[in-house]
Amino acid sequence: MVVRCEWAETNEHEIDYHETEWGVPEHDDRKLFEFLVLEGAQAGLSWDTILKRRENYRKAFDDFDFEKVAAYDESKIDELLQDSGIIRNKLKVCSAVNNAKAYIKIRDEFGSFDAYLRTFLPDGKPIQNSWKTMDEIPAKTELSEKISKDMKKRGFSFVGPTIIYAFMQAVGMVNDHVVDCFRHEECRKMR
């Protein structure tokens, strides 16, 4: 019997995401932007709601090409707000456009968004946690609060400490698979 994190036992979307992406260190700036947009869109909703719409998000947001998203105008934003395949929340859609602009500034300053993120990690390496149960895993940490504060200073929105911690988990900045989950050790080795 395969033991996995209990949140990932509901449906195939969650199982696949848990077993192929969650907690895996991600360094590609386009993928990091994708997760930033999706985590912001998820605010107040279930992650499964977003996973089911992920392909629609990829189509709607030009496969998360942040250069293209940064150039979206009011007409494109209005078009997105008519797209039933995504969460049609004007604040969240505008946030994605705004965040693409801030993202480019960080990339220009640090060479990549990934390089910026790694400045927050000890030795630039993912944090390895050893949670025994899902109840032990925090919704936010001092580090997610620090990153959130810095990103807000740089003009990002929908990047509160809880969203940022979920982002950190998704892109493997932290390994929050519980210790008896088969992915815990696999992700630890990717450090």
Give the Cα separation of 77 and 147 in Å (integer).
27
- Is 177 labelled a binding residue? yes
Give the Cα separation of 23 and 184 in Å (integer).
8
Given a contact cutoff of 8 angstroms between Cβ atoms, the answer to whether 69 and 118 are in contact is no
47 noted as active-site residue: yes
39 noted as active-site residue: yes
- Is 184 labelled a binding residue? no
- Is 5 labelled a binding residue? yes
Give the Cα separation of 62 and 107 in Å (integer).
19
Phi and psi for 128 in degrees, rounded to 5?
-100, 110
Give the Cα separation of 140 and 151 in Å (integer).
15
165 noted as active-site residue: no
- CA distances from residue 144 to 62, 105, 133, 152, 160 in whole angstroms, order as listed: 28, 20, 20, 12, 8
Residue 25 CA neighbour count, 13 Å, CB half: 18
Q: Which of 39, 72, 131, 165 is catalytic?
A: 39
What residues form the annotated binding site for Zn(2+)?
A: 5, 18, 177, 181
Catalytic residues: 17, 39, 47
Residues belonging to the binding site are 5, 18, 177, 181
